[in-house]
Amino acid sequence: MLSNIHFQEIYPLIELRLPLVQLSPRYLQLNSSRTTYKLAYNSGTIVVVEKNEGLKYYGSINLQRHITSDDREFTYNLLALAFLNNQKVLDLSKPQIFNNIEYPASLIVYQLEMDNDNWKKLINKLENRELNERTLSICFNLDNVNSSNYREVERDEEKRLYITIHALGFILKPEISWLPEAGLPIELNISSGLDENFGVYGADKLYPVSEKRLYYWSSEDSSLSTYSYDTQEHKIGNQSVKRIMLALELLQGVSTWTTGKNSIADVNFKWDLIVKVNNRCYPLQIKSNSETAMEAYEQYFELWEQAKIPFIPVIFWTNAGSCIKKMAQYFANLFNVPLKATQASINSEVTLTKINSHKIYKHIDEVRTGNKAHKPIVEALFDAAGRGEWDKQAEDLLQAIVDREKNSHYQLINHCSIIGKARIKQAEVLKAKLESLGFKLNGDMYL
């Protein structure tokens, strides 16, 4: 904190959060008079220039482009919070109109200004910061950000809008910069065990993560690393995930989806299941017994200290003897939602295996162009056919993939074959159902 500012006494004060995971100085050349500190995820830079009269500092902030997927780029807004109320998120990256020109978020750059003493303290802090200090919070008064701080800059025949933020000070924080955008965590009491077949271990806070990030991070093959799923350990763990899903299916207004194979969520963050409740999404880590939960927590804590996962996890564990209804009641109390009036059957194999592809793919623009991007949609189509039903949304999405001609591994010939096989499977299921009712097949007609 700088200049003995009492932040709690200043209102309205805004906290602009910037990521620090990959911060390091970069020198243009040996003995250069210019040093650049790059913030993580290309979210901004701080530049120190040495001149005859001394050092000059300035900083700029880019919109945070965290993720690029094939031909698509996932752009997230700068995260700014009302300092006295972290639930209020201000969108600094909305389009701005200046001199009768509307500048989209991608053409807006925020520039930082502070006095020299504060810049020196900030640079010193950044050079000597602890690994677990992952967020640089810049604090400023929103009333001072207006059109008098705007200026147009033309580069490469393209106009950009530069907006100056006069920073009052800074704070280095341990949490990940983007966490507050999804809301406050749920507090858990993990000191007392539930029973010998179901329990909770690890941290006492269950953090929500924004749905947009989770859709990408839980998509199949989004991780650069790979993981073996053909092991007995994984099969046992998968059964534990399915039991938790069954319990959550009994809650009113709650939906779930599993993280995809070799996804960022599964491989990098160790998340197994995503739960959406009360318009918030929570990633869960699930184990098959208390011993593996304890071992996993120790590993996850080390990963958190190394800034490889965003928060210390809560781990739910369940074994084959756990009671689905009892777990459902626990989650109903945890999320403060009622159980369904008519509880769904817990013996449904469809409920056990459904991955809920439509939670990930609702529109063709959300489907990637990799060689496996079409597979979850094909699986959804065949799941429906296996029940004697037809998934028109999946069929339409697959047709749209063909029409846009960007997925080389799913073209018209593949589409015709897939639709034909799915219809045959649907027909076989319908035939078996009719024959089970005593109908006999005569040619193409049932008599």
Q: How far is CA 284 from CA 196, 315, 321, in A?
A: 20, 7, 20
Q: How far apart are CA 124 and CA 172, in angstroms?
A: 12
Q: Do residue 401 and residue 335 come from a single domain?
A: no
Residue-level pLDDT at 38: 75
Report yes or no on 104 lying in a domain: yes
Q: Do residue 152 and residue 198 come from a single domain?
A: no
Residue-level pLDDT at 12: 66
pLDDT(4) > 50: no
**pLDDT tens digits for range 80-97:** 777 655 557 777 767 888
Q: Among the three residues 118, 148, 179, which one is the final residue of a domain in this structure? A: 179
Q: How far is CA 351 from CA 255, 284, 363, in A?
A: 12, 18, 24
Q: Do residue 141 and residue 67 come from a single domain?
A: yes
Q: Do residue 272 and residue 214 come from a single domain?
A: yes
Q: Do residue 142 and residue 227 come from a single domain?
A: no
Q: Do residue 396 and residue 433 come from a single domain?
A: yes
Q: How far apart are CA 393 and CA 317, in angstroms?
A: 35
Question: Minimal CA–CA distance to 181: which of 49, 16, 327?
Answer: 16
Q: How far apart are CA 36 and CA 45, in angstroms?
A: 7
203's tokens: 């941290």
Residue-level pLDDT at 412: 92
Report yes or no on 139 lying in a domain: yes
325's tokens: 């209804």
Q: How far apart are CA 189 and CA 288, in angstroms?
A: 20
pLDDT(365) > 60: yes
Q: Do residue 241 and residue 313 come from a single domain?
A: yes
Q: Which of 322-331, 338-347, 372-381, 432-441 has the lowest mean pLDDT?
A: 432-441
pLDDT(124) > 80: yes
Expressed as residue numbers, the domain containing 164 is 7-179
pLDDT(331) > 90: yes
Identify the residue with better confidence: 41 or 165.
165
Q: Do residue 300 and residue 392 come from a single domain?
A: no
Q: Do residue 382 and residue 324 come from a single domain?
A: no
**pLDDT tens digits for range 31-60:** 556 777 777 766 777 877 766 566 777 777
Report yes or no on 355 lying in a domain: no
Q: Is 61:72 a contact under the CB 8 Å cutoff? A: no
Report yes or no on 2 lying in a domain: no
Q: How far is CA 231 from CA 238, 244, 288, in A?
A: 11, 20, 14
Quick one: DSSP state of residue 311? S
**Number of compact structural domains in the chain:** 3
Q: How far apart are CA 21 and CA 40, in angstroms?
A: 6
Cα three-residue angle 294-310-221, rounded to 5 degrees: 90
- pLDDT tier at 373 (50, 70, 90 boundaries)? confident
- If phi > 0 it is left, if psi is from -120 to 50 it is alpha, else beta; for residue 241 that is alpha
Q: Among the three residues 179, 199, 223, which one is the final residue of a domain in this structure? A: 179
Portion of the chain with pLDDT greater than 70, in percent: 79
pLDDT(22) > 70: no
Best-predicted range by mean pLDDT (127-131, 192-196, 317-321, 434-438):
317-321
Q: How far is CA 373 from CA 67, 208, 403, 407, 409, in A?
A: 17, 26, 15, 8, 9
Q: Do residue 216 and residue 123 come from a single domain?
A: no
**pLDDT tens digits for range 246-294:** 999 999 999 999 998 888 889 889 999 999 999 999 999 999 999 999 9
Report yes or no on 419 lying in a domain: yes
Report yes or no on 220 lying in a domain: yes
Report yes or no on 1 lying in a domain: no
Report yes or no on 209 lying in a domain: yes
**pLDDT tens digits for range 212-248:** 888 888 888 888 887 777 777 778 888 899 999 999 9
What's the chain's average pLDDT? 79
Q: How many CB atoms lie within 10 A of CB 369?
A: 17
Residue 304's H or E segment, with its range, is helix 290-305
Residue tagged 């626990």 (tokens) = 330
Residue-level pLDDT at 72: 53
Q: Which of 191-205, 409-423, 428-442 has the lowest mean pLDDT?
A: 428-442
Q: Do residue 90 and residue 226 come from a single domain?
A: no
Q: Among the three residues 149, 179, 209, which one is the final residue of a domain in this structure? A: 179
Q: Do residue 118 and residue 227 come from a single domain?
A: no
- pLDDT tier at 346 (50, 70, 90 boundaries)? very low
Q: How far apart are CA 361 and CA 379, in angstroms?
A: 12
Residue-level pLDDT at 296: 93
